[in-house]
Amino acid sequence: MNNVIQHWRDGKSFAGTSTATSPVTNPATGEVTGELLLANVEDARAVIDAAAAAFPTWRDTSLAKRASVLFAFRELINARKEELAAIITSEHGKVLSDALGEVSRGIEVVEFACGIPHLLKGGYTENASTKVDVHSVLQPLGPVAIISPFNFPAMVPMWFFPIAIGAGNTVVIKPSEKDPSAVIWMAELWKEAGLPDGVFNVLQGDKTAVDELLTNPKIKAVSFVGSTPIAQYVYATGTAAGKRVQALGGAKNHAVILPDADLDLAADAMVNAGFGSAGERCMAISAAVAVGPIADDLVAKIAERTATIKTGDGTKDSDMGPLVTKAHRDKVASYIDAGEAAGAKVVVDGRTVIANGGADGFWLGPTLLDNVTPEMSVYTDEIFGPVLSVVRVETYDEALELINSNPYGNGTAIFTNDGGAARRFQNEVEVGMVGINVPIPVPMAYFSFGGWKASLFGDSHAHGTEGVHFFTRTKAITTRWLDPSHGGINLGFPENK
């Protein structure tokens, strides 16, 4: 019998009452490795109720104690990160080194949250009015929900829950149905670190679970990462229910390569950013915009490097693993078909890849398309696979217009040795995260992660100081301590004197 993956409630596994399940597969073999329980409304409310019950005690727990638990969690996960990486590879398919990199970037946010006492300091003004002092405090919201995607089953939840927990909130996480075990592993680690039961909870499920998180009045805020259509739904539904929502959506990231760029550096970057994690990254470069006469040389250099990539089982000697499901693999391949039919040149064809893995694995090799034009679906849609499109333009202004007219605004990059061009680009481009000769400009944890336009719904990015702001609310307190004499009756509006 397959492994049954349950919810996590009040510090232990929780089966709930629903008997509905969804298969979890190893993408490198096609083998079903587990059955995931899918919550019904009753199960979802039971998990949410646990978070609500734990909140008053955790809210009143000292900052020193909260920080000590965060430090303990950081030490445990850092010591055992290879174990977590192996779990990610077994359900997502990315190679072990990539999975380990994901965990390491997530740990950076845990480390940032370890400084939460400093980040939660309020302000104080003495004698704002005569013998009147004013101060502000940052307080937690209550139970908060995190709805995370399949492509980073450990890192994306870690963008949110360390800060939420450090700030005094309790958490309910709904991981992706495709790779849910990483979050359960982290739940067990939180318990080992000394986190009180009910502060960190995991709700497995599909739309039924999501809708309960979005509408249940006990959930005060929702953090989401996923596709733009679902991000729009999450934002609209959650805010209509009176919740604070940050919904990070899809992307179509461009890299502009100017004629003066180091083409070897740019070609390396395009391969790394286009095909890492089989392109299943919201920060992947999917459109390389070649400016001027360098396009032929750039395509040749990218093709030469792409041909050396070893596709296979992430636990073996591979550079790139499978796609997450067979359905997704077939969908990505259909975009290559459509691009070829529309006139794009298939320079490197991943549809015929011979992978070092199971015969039933979800394989699609790195694919390079040239002469892609903006009306092709391979350009307009977020493919989320190992497909890199080269778009040729004549000028910097054409390249900038391509990016700024695109509905997405998550990440972008420019490759150049011209400081003036780079400075102009970072100022003019309408994208939330910009790289200068850096293809995947994911900020450090003390900065904030988030895009513009259809890549973000809500006004708060993930982690950094914006993350602290999202998981807290400000209370202003005005105090007067008078000499023992009555101030008298005055029905006028209070004035500062």
Active site residues: 282
Those residues with Cβ within 8 angstroms of residue 373's Cβ, 6 or more apart along the chain or in another chain: 342, 343, 344, 379, 391
C-beta separation of 200 from 171 below 8 A: yes
Sheet holding 31-37: strands in order across?
A: 3-5, 31-37, 21-26
Biggest CA–CA distance in the chain, Å, is 89
State the DSSP H helix or E strand holding residue 420, giving kind and residue range, or none if neither.
Answer: helix 419-428
* Strands (DSSP E) found in 141-252: 143-147, 170-174, 200-202, 221-225, 244-248
At 351, the amino acid letter reads: R
DSSP string, 16-57: -S---EEEEEETTTTEEEEEEE---HHHHHHHHHHHHHHHHH
Q: State the Cα–Cα distance between residues 481 and 484, nearest whole angstrom.
A: 9
Q: State the Cα–Cα distance between residues 283 and 271, nearest whole angstrom.
A: 13
How far CA 434 is from CA of 285, 413, 439, in Å, comes to 12, 6, 9
How far CA 422 is from CA of 202, 264, 273, in Å, comes to 44, 18, 19
Q: Which single residue is written with the structure tokens 């727990």?
A: 61
DSSP string, 281-315: -TT-EEEEEEEGGGHHHHHHHHHHHHTTPPBB-TT
At 217, the amino acid letter reads: P
Residue 324 DSSP class:
S
Q: State the Cα–Cα distance between residues 369 and 372, nearest whole angstrom.
A: 7
User: Burial level of 404, CB count in 10 A (0-12/13-18/19+)?
Assistant: middle
Name the pairing type of β-strands 12-14 and 7-9: antiparallel
Phi first, then psi, for residue 35 (nearest 5°) are -120, 120
C-beta separation of 437 from 427 below 8 A: no
How far CA 471 is from CA of 173, 243, 300, 445, 477, in Å, comes to 15, 12, 48, 15, 20
C-beta separation of 436 from 252 below 8 A: no
Q: Encode 315-348: b = buried (16+ Cβ within 10 Å), e = exposed.
A: eeebbbbbbbbbebbeebbebbeebbebebeebb
